[in-house]
A = this chain, B = another copy of it.
């Protein structure tokens, strides 16, 4: 049930539309949570009903209208309540590993191709994260201080992807042998 709180956290730092939130969830700093637009719009609706957020309509020229959401006092209270509680360690449900585990039932080429395909995806994400890190590291000291905690989530992404890529290299070598 953290999508709600992931949205609240984002809106607390900066008001935005459902579409804006979606971009964040796709992009780098949204590394920590994934959501599709359908789910985001549904949650925004619920959060509005609960009065944790409000929205104002913004007209744009040449583009559709936007609903710009921002967090309310009540929303900040709820967010603080949630942040003060403890969260459960992340659980891992990785379909690729299920496939590997049962890999003896299929052709080796299939396995190798799948791994290489995933490797490419992870390399892209990794490079993307490194770019964002560079932007952070080149920013001013007060800015770096301000975004210290979000930067830590970025670091989690970077170290996680490094580990994934090391593993993939090792795995490909071992399969080919």
Chain A residues in the interface with B (C-beta under 8 A): 2-3, 5-6, 8-9, 12, 29, 31-34, 76, 79-80, 83-84, 86-106, 110, 114, 117-118, 121-122, 148-150, 152-153, 155-156, 159-160, 162-164, 166-167, 170-171, 174-175
Contacts and interface: CB of A to CB of B under 8 A. Distances in A.
B12 A97 contact: no
Main secondary structure of the interface of A (DSSP, over half): helix
B163 A102 contact: no
Nearest to A161: B163
A84 to B, nearest CB: 6
When all copies of this chain in the complex are counted, the total is: 2
Contact of A96 (B90, B150, B174): B90
Given A32-B97, A114-B87, A159 B149 contact: no
A80 B79 CA distance: 46
Given A86-B114, A105-B79, A148-B174, A97 B159 contact: no
Contacts of A95: 2, 5, 87-88, 90
Nearest to A163: B163
Contacts of A33: 92-94, 97-98
Given A152-B174, A155-B167, A163-B163, A90 B101 contact: no
Contact of A80 (B91, B106, B162): B106
B89 A121 contact: yes
A142 to B, nearest CB: 14
Most buried by B among A2, A121, A156: A156
Given A101-B32, A122-B89, A156 B149 contact: no
